[in-house]
Amino acid sequence: MQTFKRFLTMCGLATSLAVTASGVAHSEVKKDFKVAWSIYVGWMPWGYANDHGIVKKWADKYGITIDVTQFNDYVESMNQFTAGAYDAVTLTNMDGLSIPAAGGVDTTAVIVGDFSNGNDALILKEKDKLEDVKGQNVNLVEFSVSHYLLARALESIGLSERDVKVVNTSDADMVAAYQTNDVTSVVTWNPLVSTIMEEQSAHNVFDSSKIPGEIIDLMAANTDVLKDNPDFGKALAGIWYDTMAVMTADSDDGKAARTAMGQASGTDLTGFEAQMAATKLFDKAEDAVAFTTSPDLPTTMDHVRNFLFEKGLLGNGASSADVIGIEMPDGTVLGDKGNVKMRFTSTYMDAAANGQL
């Protein structure tokens, strides 16, 4: 099974900050664009769209070309975007802030594609209450969305990270680690969650469905490129919602699409549909717009930026969580208005919702 997931590493962060000096995607009117994506249930539509002519259909409509490249290394895809080698990339809201934005690249979330709604979980061995995590060693990928989930879980019961001990553990080793006697608590993601939950001793005591809308998967673009080339944003929106219509259809074509995406991600139709069930996919543009313009999004991004600041992941010398400005669709800004480097917009999703693509 595919064990890859979105996660941030200190090494990846350091690299992204270093490559920023080499330049960003040039701000100019152009015809050729490059998009990077990596394996995850909410990002598989981009690979499918590329393989089945949907990318070409929308690129042709706007008289442009869009080269879509799959990366097996998620962090590297973000590093390449930060360096200016790609115009857009799939990433999470947390990683968008901590890598390209913290690396100085003005980044805009063009498509809010989904949020984790149970795919990420805190699992205890032989214990079935969240409070039982107190005093335990917790195995997880440090500085990842798992680390963030743990922080939010502890906060929900009045505890903090001081009440546990985080043990940095590779996702590739997580299932084997859980099966050892020494490991009693893990935080991880699907399909690893499903595998671990097959063990009789395993109890899911907190998952991302308890913090709906906080672990968000995006298609983000270089803001300057997008500003000078709005047709690129329109094409991305067209690709996404066209593919969503196929992927979610209760038809033979829909089943074939889900089967293809499952196989491409290292699982099968059943496994992929199980991951979809734990993911809130925004297959309708109007739902994505409602989510993106909701007052809940600034609250979420406030949680995220404070977590990243506490972990030292907002850049060297960051004096507070306000160091980077985060612009919302209504123009309000969290943090430094003079240093806005991450933006959420409903422009292209609105266009899709209103039949204006």
Same domain, 222 and 80: yes
* Average pLDDT score, the chain: 92
pLDDT bucket at 210, cuts 50 / 70 / 90:
very high
Above 70 in pLDDT, residue 65? yes
Above 90 in pLDDT, residue 22? no
Mean pLDDT for the stretch of residues 83-90: 97
Contact 41, 6 (CB under 8 A): no
Same domain, 251 and 112: yes
Above 60 in pLDDT, residue 15? no
Above 70 in pLDDT, residue 16? no
Lowest mean pLDDT among 15-19, 213-217, 245-249, 298-302: 15-19
- The predicted structure's pLDDT at residue 111: 98
Above 50 in pLDDT, residue 9? no
Same domain, 220 and 337: yes
Query: Identity (one letter) of the amino acid at 245?
Result: A
Into how many domains does the chain fold? 2
Same domain, 57 and 171: no
- The predicted structure's pLDDT at residue 14: 41
At 132, which CATH number? Answer: 3.40.190.10
- The predicted structure's pLDDT at residue 331: 97
Contact 18, 103 (CB under 8 A): no
Which tokens in the block code for residue 158? 């009045």
Same domain, 190 and 158: yes
Same domain, 111 and 125: no
Cis peptide before 298 (omega within 30 of 0): no
Above 50 in pLDDT, residue 4? no
Mean pLDDT for the stretch of residues 93-114: 96
Report yes or no on 5 lying in a domain: no
Same domain, 237 and 262: yes
Supply angle C-alpha 346, 39, 341, rounded to 5: 40
pLDDT bucket at 259, cuts 50 / 70 / 90:
very high
Predicted TM-score (pTM) of this structure: 0.88
Mean pLDDT for the stretch of residues 264-287: 94
The Cα 296–Cα 212 span in angstroms is 10
- The predicted structure's pLDDT at residue 27: 61
Same domain, 200 and 125: yes
% pLDDT > 90, the chain: 85
- The predicted structure's pLDDT at residue 266: 85
- Structural domain boundaries, residue 189: 120-210
Same domain, 251 and 135: no
| Per-residue model confidence as pLDDT tens digits over 307-316 | 999 999 998 8
The Cα 153–Cα 169 span in angstroms is 19
The Cα 331–Cα 253 span in angstroms is 40
| Per-residue model confidence as pLDDT tens digits over 161-182 | 999 999 999 888 999 999 999 9
Mean pLDDT for the stretch of residues 294-321: 94
Contact 68, 37 (CB under 8 A): yes
The Cα 210–Cα 116 span in angstroms is 10
| Per-residue model confidence as pLDDT tens digits over 337-349 | 999 999 999 999 9
Same domain, 90 and 225: yes
Helix axes 252-264, 269-277, angle to 10 degrees: 90
Same domain, 76 and 172: no
- The predicted structure's pLDDT at residue 18: 42
Same domain, 318 and 348: yes
Report yes or no on 2 lying in a domain: no
Pick from 210, 236, 270: which residue ends a domain?
210
Pick from 210, 239, 272: which residue ends a domain?
210
Report yes or no on 97 lying in a domain: yes
Pick from 210, 245, 273: which residue ends a domain?
210
